[in-house]
Amino acid sequence: PSSPFDQPHPTDYLISRMNKLVLALCLGAASAFVPASRPAMRTVRFAEEAAPAEEAAPAEVEEAPPAPAGPPPMSEALPFLPCPPALVGYDVAGNHGFDPVGFTDWFPRDWLREAELKHGRICQLAVVGFAATDLGLKLPGEIHQVSSINAHDVALSYGSMQQLIIWLSVFEIVSAIGVNQMINENSGRKPGGEKLPYRH
């Protein structure tokens, strides 16, 4: 007599198919890290070379085609990926060729650097403010006598966050003038520069 445990479960087939699909997806993702192979150079035989030497008319010497460019330099940050072309020779601090998504193919690199520095500085200020509040450095007034965890909700209830978004929007509009001049007008402003955001 056969046991009910000997019979295949209806979901066994589905699980087997899912396992094969997951394996195929993993192998497909892993193939993204395999360097592309170059096609083999084919030798083309011209009709003049195939003809006997006596019948061949003297041909002009053709210049050899330029040697193919070497492989692109590899990224220092991700040594298994090539360095993005926009970052090759981009002489700024911290450039190690890190752009696995390829943002430098879509956006100007100075704009990306400006955004990176601005976000980094805001995060540094946020960490210092968060720590300072919990260490007891607080402004006078009832609104400021809260922990850093509750500060956001309290500021929303008093209307401070709405004012903050207005003033930050004004700052972003003014700084966008300088960023536009840096990218489109070659004003000489460096990304994240300490100068005024616009040219006089």
Strand partners, 82: 74
124 or 61, which is more confident? 124
Q: Which of 120, 117, 150 is nearest to 133 (CA)?
A: 150
Task: Give DSSP secondary structure letters for 110-137.
Answer: HHHHHHHHHHHHHHHHHHHHHHHHHTT-
The pLDDT tens digits for 87-128 are 888 777 778 888 888 888 888 888 888 888 889 999 999 999
150: Cβ contacts below 8 Å, ≥ 6 apart: none
Averaged pLDDT for residues 149-172: 87
pTM comes to: 0.54
Per the model's pLDDT, the better-predicted residue between 156 and 8 turns out to be 156
Q: If you average pLDDT over residues 20-39, what whole number do you get?
A: 59
**Separation of alpha carbons 132 and 65, rounded Å:** 66
**Is the pLDDT assigned to residue 10 strictly greater than 80?**
no
pLDDT over 70 at 18, yes or no:
no
